[in-house]
Amino acid sequence: MKKKLTAILRDTLDLCFREGYLKQTPIPEFVIEVPHNPDHGHFATNLAMTLAGEQKNSPRKIAEIIIQHLMDHDHFILKAEIGGAGFINFFVARKQWHSLLTQVAELGDDYGRSSLGKGEKIMVEFVSANPTGPLHLGHGRGAALGDTLCRILSFCGYDARREFYINDAGSQIKLLGKSIYSRWRQLSDPSYPFPEDGYRGDYIEELALDITQKQDLENLSVDEAIDLLSELGKDKMLKELKQDLADFRVDFDLWYKETDLYSSGKVDQTIKLIEKRGLLFEEGGALWIKTTAFGDDKDRVLRKKDGEFTYFASDISYHLDKWERGFKKVINIWGADHHGYGYIIPS
């Protein structure tokens, strides 16, 4: 309805400019909206008011000219009135509503679908929760927002892909294993120490009980047991994350593992690419990237002095990989703790 009314108004202005009823000027931005008061019509526009400055005339006089010369060959408009300081209120003919309702009924769920995106690939990465604990309310918000956005993009003709990035490498997975190991040991020795920065939720004890019912840890060294618990705990948490999201009716096209990023050599390749661009420097035994060159408030560490890469390093590599997979448009829905991050993709 709004598109049809917009076309009528633009054709009317073309006529008024051509015939000299109005001075030839660029058509300004104007809005067509549904009035709060139904007595003011089905739709209203501020077009006459936006034209007033260039036309050097009152909005009401301009509105009169527009109404007198409406290019409405299909009898779309039943009547048009001037309201307030120069709004134009439109009442749409009853048969137009009947036609619209027939179209809605015929198209069903496809009503409103468009080809705006022309099949362009666009990735939406969202949730991407660490597989070290259950989903929380913030993840639920991200899931709802990301999935809704993908549905809208697909409805508008884009090839929208949903992606979940799994942080399954690094110290947090090791810490998960240590936390589970400590809870298991505390079942027989309550005084056994728990990691100071360990994961303390009740789910850790549940994981310890569940895993050790199927796995014999007694004959393993501490390090072997922790490595095993890290892997099994991560897998169980990831399975739970997937089930929770499925229950929430949120499915992903790809679950991208950080470990795959490292095993493929992409992180090392990315570091070399950044070095080639002259953006790396060493300080305090760590490797840094000059993000301040791109407006960041501080430079960022890519590799810590103990040789371990930071999240920032793998995240840059991951986003470069998105680009190489053909995604020229990417939407990231991040948690509040990532509000300062942005990535410059090397060309």
pLDDT digits (tens, 9 = 90+) for 113-158: 999 999 999 999 999 999 999 999 999 999 999 999 999 999 999 9
Question: What confidence score (pLDDT) does residue 311 get?
Answer: 87
Question: What confidence score (pLDDT) does residue 170 get?
Answer: 84
- Report whether pLDDT(252) > 70: yes
The yes/no answer on whether domain 121-164+255-338 falls in CATH 3.30.1700.10 is: no
d(CA 67, CA 37): 21
d(CA 299, CA 297): 7
| Residue pair 103/140 in contact by the 8 Å Cβ criterion | no
Structure tokens at 333: 């829905």
pLDDT digits (tens, 9 = 90+) for 279-299: 999 999 999 999 998 888 899
Q: What kind and span of H or E run contains 63?
A: helix 59-68
The CATH class, in words, for 2-96 is alpha beta
Q: Which of 17, 22, 190, 3 is nearest to 100 (CA)?
A: 3
Mean pLDDT of 38-48: 96
- Report whether pLDDT(199) > 60: yes
d(CA 247, CA 239): 12
Q: Cα–chain-centroid distance for residue 58?
A: 44
| Residue pair 313/271 in contact by the 8 Å Cβ criterion | yes
| Confidence band, pLDDT 50/70/90 cuts, at residue 300 | very high
Question: What confidence score (pLDDT) does residue 296 get?
Answer: 85
Mean pLDDT of 80-92: 96
| Chain region(s) in the chain for CATH 3.30.1360.70 | 2-96
How far from 289 is each of 207, 274, 304, 341, CA to CA, in Å? Answer: 38, 8, 12, 13
- Report whether pLDDT(346) > 50: no
Q: What is the mean pLDDT of the chain?
A: 94
What percent of the chain has pLDDT above 90?
Answer: 92
Mapping DSSP to helix (H, G, I), strand (E, B) and coil, where does residue 158 land? coil
**AA letter at 256:** Y
Burial 297-322 (b: 16+ CB within 10 A, else e): eeebbbbeeeeebbbbbbbbbbbbbb
Question: What confidence score (pLDDT) does residue 339 get?
Answer: 60
Mean pLDDT of 10-36: 95
Mean pLDDT of 208-215: 94
Question: What confidence score (pLDDT) does residue 295 get?
Answer: 84
Phi and psi for 309 in degrees, rounded to 5? -75, 150
Neighbours of 215 (CB within 10 A): 14
pLDDT digits (tens, 9 = 90+) for 65-77: 999 999 999 999 9
Q: How many helices (H) and strands (E) does the chain have?
A: 11, 11
Mean pLDDT of 45-71: 96
| Residue pair 256/319 in contact by the 8 Å Cβ criterion | no
d(CA 318, CA 336): 20
d(CA 199, CA 85): 63
Q: Could you say which DSSP state residue 109 is in?
A: G
Neighbours of 141 (CB within 10 A): 14
Please name the residue that has the structure tokens 């069903």.
Answer: 108
Q: Could you say which DSSP state residue 119 is in?
A: T
Q: Which of 73, 63, 244, 74 is nearest to 164 (CA)?
A: 244
Q: Could you say which DSSP state residue 28 is in?
A: P
Mean pLDDT of 6-18: 97
Q: What kind and span of H or E run contains 289?
A: strand 286-289
